[in-house]
Amino acid sequence: MLGITILGNNSALPAHDRHPTAQLLTTPEHLLLFDCGEGTQMQLARYKIRRSKINYIFISHLHGDHYFGLPGLLNSMGLQGRTQDLHLFIPEKLKTILELQFEVANAVLPFKIHYHFLLEEGVILEEKKFTVSCFKTQHRIECWGFLFKEKKHPRKILPDECIKHEIPSSFYERLHWGEDYSNKDGEIIKNDWVTKANTAPKSYAYSADTIYDENLADNVTNVSLLFHETTYLKDQEERAAARFHSTTIQAAMIARKANVNRLIIGHFSSKYEELDEFEKEAKEVFENCELAIEGVTYLL
Amino acid sequence: MLGITILGNNSALPAHDRHPTAQLLTTPEHLLLFDCGEGTQMQLARYKIRRSKINYIFISHLHGDHYFGLPGLLNSMGLQGRTQDLHLFIPEKLKTILELQFEVANAVLPFKIHYHFLLEEGVILEEKKFTVSCFKTQHRIECWGFLFKEKKHPRKILPDECIKHEIPSSFYERLHWGEDYSNKDGEIIKNDWVTKANTAPKSYAYSADTIYDENLADNVTNVSLLFHETTYLKDQEERAAARFHSTTIQAAMIARKANVNRLIIGHFSSKYEELDEFEKEAKEVFENCELAIEGVTYLL
């Protein structure tokens, strides 16, 4: 089961008990944190998520509402005695800031940080069951979106059929990946006689902060779940553009163009206390859309 | 009315819905913030305190739990359109960190920051009705406590007595400050015939993070209210010393030695979920003692 838990759904100015951006992707083996606004470690505690399980952290850009919670989170991991390596995928200059903060505190963390700098688009993390790649978004400063993609699932073995065709179990691993079997008489046993298709791999795109940009759709085509920012309602299109942010309609247009399965929207401006209108507007263009609500987990 | 509002009473690792250190001192004209741990801006919102009213911020030292909330607070002040100058009293290296954070965000704040570096003990702020001075505490890294002192209150005029002695109202200002009046016949009208003493000036000492240090008492003698850290209960004296922190008993001993009027204790270790024992222990040594509880305002 893969899910994305929203820890912060507000834009830069925290308000209405909404927090700056942070999202946690849960896989059976790993927790991946996308952005880490101020208070993320408290939000993790609030939703009873163990900080120690996070091994990968991705920071989209260096506006404070996307990373001011990172030094505190790292400190707390250290205070809790973490020894496991941690991987940070960040804009390069953030390393300078973090190291300066460690230095003035005379702090040495008890775990190793691996810094991976966001320099060009492409795969930045390859795990056994998934990859994460980054792509550029159009914002006031350099900004990166992230695309999580499960690898193809192995085909499911049909045990009765395999026995009937006398396929040795040592060949099952190759059956998982679609190979045909050739038996001792030279007869070909077609893979799809003895296996069946598994579920399709899931994917999640976190498109960070961005102005409306049609090209973004190319980076998130067909994903299971897309997060697209909607800092403003549709009547604020000019303001959104001036600040390199997007509206409800614009987010929904990207989702439609990219043919995603489902859209969640967030990064709401603090000027909005009520959020109902956001969902309503986005649904005018893309029906399978929900608000990104803090504490809620959206399955991929 | 002068009061100190606790915004964070926990030590470095946030837990049990307790937050890293931040305290707000309210005077009729000013709000002064002492330390600014992560989430301080959210705590200000929670207790409906207006960020815009804060003109003076004091940072005791560069452990993250005492300043990680500062960049976010400054950003938010900017987003809210603050134009009024802000004064920061900070360890010098914090300026480098802040400026780097502004630089990578390509951010220009719409208000001016005046940086005042903590370099030596003494008065660092003189306002019309109060002064703030800083003093060193003994911690793992350079650390400063702060002493807020109201200036002497003017003596109260007794109008009937002034009229009886034919003192012109133009002389009242001098009566406020204790001068005798000499009338046209050369007769001396003693100040205390025509005025009465006002309330004593109030004072507050925030002693930041510190190991048990008897000398600290000299810096906080006779204050109306003393905050002293109590990271640990009394049975953890060794651990406290090893980490340059204090226990309940030690805080209370300082309060007694310094002859303060009232003591509040905080900076509780996250290992303690319940705090009752802290108050009980400290009261063994110094009766007029209370826990520093978040959201509560303690009058000076």
ipTM of the complex: 0.92
H or E element, residue A256: helix A248-257
Q: Which of B17, B35, B65, B209 is catalytic?
A: B65
Main-chain dihedrals φ then ψ at residue A124, nearest 5 degrees: -115, -15
Q: Does the pTM exceed 0.90? A: yes
Cα–Cα distance for residue pair B232/B268, rounded to 1 Å: 7
Q: B93-104 vs A93-104: helix axis angle to the nearest 10? A: 160
Q: CA neighbours within 13 Å on the CB side: how many for B155?
A: 19
Chain A CB contacts of B38 under 8 Å are: 38-39, 41-42, 68-69, 72
Chain B CB contacts of A106 under 8 Å are: 140-141
**Higher pLDDT, residue A1 or A34:** A34
Cα–Cα distance for residue pair A119/A135, rounded to 1 Å: 10
Question: Average of pLDDT values for A59-63?
Answer: 98
Chain B CB contacts of A141 under 8 Å are: 104-106
Distance to chain B for A210, nearest Cα, Å: 15
Is the pLDDT at A1 greater than 90? The verdict is no
Mutate to test the interface with B, among A18, A38, A52, A62 (most CBs of B within 10 A): A38
Report pLDDT for A60: 98
Chain B's closest residue to A94, CA to CA, is B104
Cα–Cα distance for residue pair A37/A20, rounded to 1 Å: 5
Per domain, the residue ranges of chain B are 3-153+202-299, 156-196
b/e burial code for range A7-41 (CB count within 10 A of at least 16 → b): bbbbbbbbbeebbbbbbbbbbeebbbbbbbbbbbb
Is the pLDDT at A20 greater than 90? The verdict is yes
A271 at B interface, C-beta within 8 A? no
Q: Which amino acid is at B180?
A: D
Looking at the annotation, which residues of A are catalytic? 65
A266 at B interface, C-beta within 8 A? no
Report pLDDT for A21: 98
Among left, alpha and beta (phi > 0; psi -120 to 50; other), residue B285 is: alpha
Per-residue pLDDT of chain B (300 residues; tens, 9 = 90+): 899 999 999 999 999 999 999 999 999 999 999 999 999 999 999 999 999 999 999 999 999 999 999 999 999 999 999 999 999 999 999 999 999 999 999 999 999 999 999 999 999 999 999 999 999 999 999 999 999 999 999 999 999 999 999 999 999 999 999 999 999 899 999 999 999 999 999 999 999 999 999 999 999 999 999 999 999 999 999 999 999 999 999 999 999 999 999 999 999 999 999 999 999 999 999 999 999 999 999 999
Q: CA neighbours within 13 Å on the CB side: how many for B167?
A: 28
Q: Which long-range contacts (CB under 8 A, 24 or more apart) does A14-17 make?
A: A14/A38, A14/A39, A14/A270, A14/B41, A14/B42, A14/B45, A14/B72, A14/B76, A15/A270, A15/A273, A15/B45, A16/A270, A16/A273
Chain A CB contacts of B20 under 8 Å are: 72
Q: Which residue, B115, B127, B56, is CA-closest to B91? A: B115
* Known active-site residue B65: yes
Chain position carrying tokens 């008993």: B249
Binary contact (B105, A141; C-beta < 8 A): yes
Distance to chain B for A79, nearest Cα, Å: 7
Residue A141, burial from CB neighbour count under 10 angstroms (0-12, 13-18, 19+) = middle
Q: Are A225 and A261 in contact (CB under 8 A)?
A: yes
Cα–Cα distance for residue pair B43/A118, rounded to 1 Å: 33
Binary contact (A94, B104; C-beta < 8 A): yes
Structure token digits, residue B216: 């600290």
Report pLDDT for A100: 97
Q: Are A277 and A236 in contact (CB under 8 A)?
A: no
Report pLDDT for A104: 97
Q: Which long-range contacts (CB under 8 A, 24 or more apart) does B187-193 make?
A: B189/B165, B191/B155, B193/B161, B193/B165
Structure token digits, residue A49: 């998520």
What Cα–Cα distance (Å) separates residue B36 from each residue in B20, B90, B193? Answer: 8, 11, 48
| Architecture of the domain whose range is B3-153+202-299 | 4-Layer Sandwich (3.60)
> What residues contact residue B79 under an 8 Å CB cut-off, 6+ apart?
A12, A13
CA A44 to chain centre: 16
Cα–Cα distance for residue pair B136/B121, rounded to 1 Å: 7
Mutate to test the interface with B, among A10, A16, A42, A46 (most CBs of B within 10 A): A42
Mutate to test the interface with A, among B17, B40, B51, B75 (most CBs of A within 10 A): B75
B271 at A interface, C-beta within 8 A? no
Chain position carrying tokens 């900070």: B90
Q: Which residue, A57, A49, A63, is CA-closest to A11? A: A63
Q: Cβ atoms within 10 A of the Cβ of A99, count? A: 12
Question: Average of pLDDT values for A162-171?
Answer: 93
Of A45, A94, A100, the CB nearest to B96: A100
Of A62, A68, A140, the CB nearest to B72: A68
